[in-house]
Amino acid sequence: MEADSNLFEALFQEHAAKVQAYCLRRAPVEDARDAAAEVFAVAWSKRRQLPEDEKILPWLYGIAARVLANQRRASRRKSAFLRRFLGVSERSLSGPEEQVLFNAETQEVLDALQRLGPSDREIVMLIAWEELTRDQAAVVLGCSPEAAKKRYQRATRRLERALGIDHGERTASSRYEPEVAGNE
């Protein structure tokens, strides 16, 4: 037990901030805070099944993705309740304006990300924001490296279309290779 605690203490020290950042990038602050705490509670319960070192962070992200998905499902249930019984949506409760925001470029990219499907969006964010390789992203997503590669290529292609990026003469082989995401 003491050994478990020491190991987990080290794991927490090394990864807590990154897990919290992962959650903050995907959920409101309060939800992210609770989700990140939940991630380590789950990880503690699975401490006997910890993966090898280089896969621990993707493994934690994978737990975080499921925890956040559960939160979203709960939120959707709440929205359904509001629609059904009160005749309102959470959107309508939050006011009529969408005259967003701070930085038009940032907002444009975030909007484009929102238009992607969940799995496409997740792999893009894992690679761009969590700075994972495609292989590590595959661990988070629970798919093969080859599937992650195809998903990533499809996602970036869709994102480029959403952002109106025209590559003209650029070659397909050079188009989708992120410098942080090379297969290892």
Partner 1 sequence: MSDVMRRVRNANPVPDSSHLLLDREEFTDLVVERRDKMVLGRSAATGALHPGSRWQIALVAFALVLVTGGGVWLAGSMASGDLVGADAASASEAQLALASAAHFFDALNSGDLETAQAIMAPAISRDPKIARALQFFSGLPGTKSLSSCSTTARVLWTDVACDITLSGPLFVATGQDTARGVLRVDDEGLITSSPVIGRRLEADRAFVEYAKAIEPVAFQRSCDPEAYVPGSVEISKLAESLAWTGECAQLWAELSDDAAAWVYAGKPTLDRGETIEPDPGSS
Q: Which residues would be at the binding site for partner 1 (CB under 8 A)?
A: 1, 4-5, 8-9, 12-13, 16-18, 20-21, 24-25, 27-30, 32-34, 36-38, 40-41, 44, 93-102, 104-106, 109-110, 113, 124-125, 127-129, 156, 159-160, 163, 165, 175-181
The residue among 59 and 120 lying less far from partner 1, judged by its C-beta, is: 120
Token reading at 176? 């989708």
The residue among 10 and 69 lying less far from partner 1, judged by its C-beta, is: 10
Looking at residue 47, what DSSP letter applies?
G
The residue among 20 and 138 lying less far from partner 1, judged by its C-beta, is: 20
Token reading at 117? 């499907």
- Residue 16 CB, nearest approach to partner 1 (Å): 6
Residue 164: what are its φ and ψ, rounded to 5°? Answer: 70, 30
Q: What contacts 153, CB < 8 A, 6 or more positions away?
A: 176
Looking at residue 85, what DSSP letter applies?
I
- Residue 105 CB, nearest approach to partner 1 (Å): 7
Give the amino acid at 160: E
Helix/strand number for the chain, H first, E second: 9, 0
- Residue 144 CB, nearest approach to partner 1 (Å): 22
- Residue 145 CB, nearest approach to partner 1 (Å): 18
Looking at residue 166, what DSSP letter applies?
-
The residue among 21 and 147 lying less far from partner 1, judged by its C-beta, is: 21
